Structures are given as structure tokens and as C-alpha cells.
Amino acid sequence: MAMQGLKELYEIRFSAEDRARKDAVWKVLCDHFFSRYVKPKDTILDIACGYGEFSNHIVAGRKIAIDLNPDARKYLDDDIELYQSSASAMDKIGSSSIDVCFSSNFFEHLPDRQTMDEVLQEAYRVLKPNGRYVAMQPNIRYEPGRYWDYYDHILPLSHLSCKEAFEKAGFLVKEVIPKFVPFSTDSRLPQWPILVRLYLAFPPIWRLLGGQFLIVARKPG
């Protein structure tokens, strides 16, 4: 989707109130879950960073973000380096320079499997040996209807098909959580930070309410 199209679509989809609510949830997710994958001195790459909910809140030594949306810069903290380019051609990011790649709700927007292969190949290139890719995605296996309620959802993925894609790209998949958080912040995930913390602390409820999967993959050392 063209840059201008992204800008217009996200303006329709997310109000200022929606963004504030999501941001509060993401702060808890970063502080109390995703921080386990990122060391304080790591260099992270936030792929398709959106409104910067991950890169703004995660603690890291250096933060790099990539996104096609021309509005992305105004939502990112000043210490985050932004490149406005495709994730399938991250030419400005050096090989073996990243400790942790992260993406959320991204792969489903890709036009086809070939493009996803290219994205994963680029992520593999920029990661250091033993670097991680942490990806969170809506799971079509558990949300087969709502998966298609978004105009820009194109590529159908479950936790199993996504795992195969990572392995095809040469990654070692270290962790798969088929049902992690609910499908969206508009669904059943509690909005108050203390309730989000309680949700994260009680994995059995993930199997009841989860609609997104989590994959953690490693580039071999």
C-alpha cells in the first residue's frame, strides 16, 4: 500500500483516544513481558513501527524503526532513528548490526508470501549471530472471521504457517505461543494497566482470550 494510502487508512482506523489507550497497554506489555527479550544495551529494530508503541517504551541502548507511513516520525521519541522504507529492502541498516528485531501485526499486511520471505531474509541479514526476532501476529486459526475485518489484511497466517516461514528463512524458532493477547485492544484485553499486568501474569487465561500468537526466533550463531 502506498505511503499516502497508509496515512489515510490509519487516520480512519485510530482516533487520538484509540492511540492513547493502545499506548497505555503497550507500556505494560513492554515493561512486564517484552523486556525479557531485550537487554538494556541492545540495539533493537522495530519493523513496521506504526505509532511507536514498542520502540517508545522498550528499554534499549539504541532504537531504530522502519515504517512506510509518512506520519510515523511525529509519534516516535526523539532518540529513535527512523527509516522510511520497505521492510523487504532495509538497505540503510548494516548487516549483523541488530540484537533484536520486533514486529507486531505486520505480516498480515504483506501482499504475498514472496514478500514475507524477503522481509525475513532482510531481518536475518541485519541481525547479529544469536540475535532474536520477536513477532506478534493475529492468528487466523483462532480468529478466522475478524481476521478479514481490516481493509489492509491480505496474507493469512497461523502460528504454524508463520513458524514454517521463519524456519524457511534459516531461523531457529525458540518459542511459539499460539494464543497470547486478544485479537485487538478493542476486544477482551483489560484496558487498565494493573489489569493488563494481571493478565500477563496468568498464562492460563491466554488460552481462553488470546487471538494473537507470539513467535521468538533466533539467527544461528
Given phi > 0 = left and psi -120 to 50 = alpha, else beta, which region is 126? alpha
Mean pLDDT throughout 101-129? 98
Confidence of residue 64 (pLDDT cuts 50, 70, 90): very high
Overall size of the chain counted in residues: 221
Average pLDDT (8-20) is: 60
**Burial of 53 from C-beta contacts in 10 A (0-12 / 13-18 / 19+):** buried
Q: CA-CA distance, 53 to 24, in Å (whole number)?
A: 9
Question: Which class for 120: exposed (0-12), middle (13-18), buried (19 or more C-beta within 10 A)?
Answer: buried
| Predicted local confidence at residue 214, as pLDDT | 98
Give the per-residue pLDDT at 192.
74
Say if residue 144's pLDDT is above 90: yes
pTM over 0.75? The answer is yes
pLDDT in tens, 70-95: 889 999 999 999 999 999 999 999 99
Q: Is the pLDDT of residue 35 over 70?
A: yes
What the chain holds in terms of domains, given with CATH numbers, is 3-218 (3.40.50.150)
Residue 215 has pLDDT above 90, yes or no: yes
